């Protein structure tokens, strides 16, 4: 394996797109060409399916992503996101893709009670968290959502007063030509 650059690359995959053959081939190329590859699975598809299977509302999609109201909804969403991360790790291992794999669950530490609190976040905002520690950031989404996601990052750049030039939105259909 020959590394072409020392760049650090971040990719956020919408829904379950990380598991498509096109995404896996693309991730393999990225992991071989760059010093660091960090991959975040969005899990929206699995979360929606899990909430529906449990007979619960799938949540309202507000400006910061899915809003869940009950602890039961949150637990199901967290479990679904963690399951996606586990599956992604397995797929990446089988495909020999070297990456740090994240899901849309962080653990907040409650120091007063010495415990951790699961905290779900909108994966579309994760590129903002890691913007300064990575050289290139990709958001991989469906063909239908590419324009909407590109507009989100354009609007965020305008709100911050500076374009987010390192964030690139790709549709799954773009991956084979990339």
Domain boundaries, the chain: 8-175
Choose between 60 and 127: higher pLDDT: 127
pLDDT confidence tier of residue 64, bands split at 50, 70 and 90: confident
Confirm if 82 and 105 have CB atoms less than 8 A apart: yes
Residue 157 has pLDDT above 90, yes or no: yes
- pLDDT tens-digit series, residues 75-129: 898 899 999 999 999 999 999 999 999 988 766 556 666 666 667 778 899 999 9
Q: Which residue, among 147, 99, 156, has the nearest Cα to 127 in the 3D structure?
A: 156
CATH of domain 8-175: 3.40.1160.10
């Amino acid at each position: 394996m020959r590394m072409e650059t020392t760049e650090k690359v971040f990719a956020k995959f919408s829904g379950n797109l990380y598991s498509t053959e096109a995404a896996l081939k693309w991730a393999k190329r990225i992991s071989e060409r760059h010093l660091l590859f960090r991959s975040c699975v969005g899990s929206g598809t699995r979360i929606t399916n899990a909430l529906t299977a449990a007979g619960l509302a799938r949540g309202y999609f507000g400006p910061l992503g899915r809003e869940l109201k009950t602890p039961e909804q949150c637990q199901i969403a967290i479990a679904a996101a963690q399951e996606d991360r586990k599956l992604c790790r397995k797929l990446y291992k089988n495909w020999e893709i070297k990456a740090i794999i994240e899901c849309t669950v962080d653990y907040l530490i409650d120091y007063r009670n010495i415990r951790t609190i699961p905290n779900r976040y909108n994966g579309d905002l994760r590129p903002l968290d890691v913007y300064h520690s990575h050289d290139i950031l990709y958001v991989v989404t469906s063909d239908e959502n590419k324009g909407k996601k590109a507009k989100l990052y354009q609007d965020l750049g305008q709100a911050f007063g500076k374009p987010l030039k390192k964030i690139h939105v790709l549709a799954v259909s773009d991956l084979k030509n990339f």
